[in-house]
Amino acid sequence: MTIKNTVKEYAKYLKNITHIPAKEIEMLILHLLEKNVIWLHLHYNDEFTKEKELKTLVLKREKNFPLEYLIKKASFYGEVFHVEEGVLIPRPETELLIDKALSILDNIAAPKILEIGVGSGIISVILARLIPNIKIVAIDINPKALILAEKNAQYHEVNEKIEFINSDLFENIDSQDFDMVISNPPYIKKDYVLEQNVKYEPALALFGGEEGDELLKKIIEETQQRGIKYLLCEMGYDQKESLGNFIKKFSHEKLEFYKDYENFDRGFSLNFKK
């Protein structure tokens, strides 16, 4: 069977899973063949020789298993990142968090940043690529995430700018001289019912406590206690009021909440008084 007919045949399996079933089949084929889209367009009428392997992947995807875990990569901020099971899949809305950080860091010479919950490394890697003299300490409680993040840092040739540390929040961090803390922490409420595909991702990276914002509040409190001026975090769509009230306890110069692409409240930028 040709690649063209293979795409047509196996797309039927995914018609109730995704709005782009044929495109996803093409992505799985390219993953198996280790080829790019240009090659695919030039060889669409060639015989496809890995149907057995493709069917295995398609049957997993048919059960809502994330495509990114199947092809072991994800696109973020216009770049390709390695992705593995056991580590959170990058989300497009996190690009907004990076944009907010860049608007502040552009005015700081040789900034030093702490990222809490580095995951696959997308935030630290992009900041390292875009800011020449930046130094980043990237922490995570999940050793598997740290290995993947370092792999992505090496892939994007910025590993010399990033130090990776296994730490639960600030537990293993001695330095006090950071300009900014940035984080996309777990912030989902404990009893929230996840969509089927999200259930395959690590709970440790998703759930932030009984109400969901407990970890965010710890980050706010510890950042202020350490005298770090800037804090930028992603948050849940329904946590603006709770976090806003909590932040009132701390002396700060500026607090801004921002919305995501769907117009939901998604994060905040906080400038503490030093």
Task: Give dist(CA 69, CA 24) in Å, integer.
Answer: 13
Q: For 154-194, write each residue's pLDDT tens digit.
A: 999 999 999 999 999 999 998 778 999 999 999 988 888 88
Task: Give dist(CA 244, CA 143) in Å, integer.
Answer: 32
Q: pTM here?
A: 0.93
The string over 140-176, giving b where at least 16 C-beta atoms fall within 10 Å of a residue's C-beta and e elsewhere, is: bebeebbebbbbbbeebebbebbebeebebbeebeee
No. of helices (H) and no. of strands (E), the chain: 10, 11
Q: Give, as one character, the DSSP assignment of residue 12.
A: G
User: Mean pLDDT over residues 211-226, rounded?
Assistant: 95
Q: For residues 127 and 134, is the Cβ–Cβ distance under 8 A?
A: yes
Q: For 50-89, write each residue's pLDDT tens digit.
A: 999 999 999 999 999 999 999 999 999 999 999 999 999 9
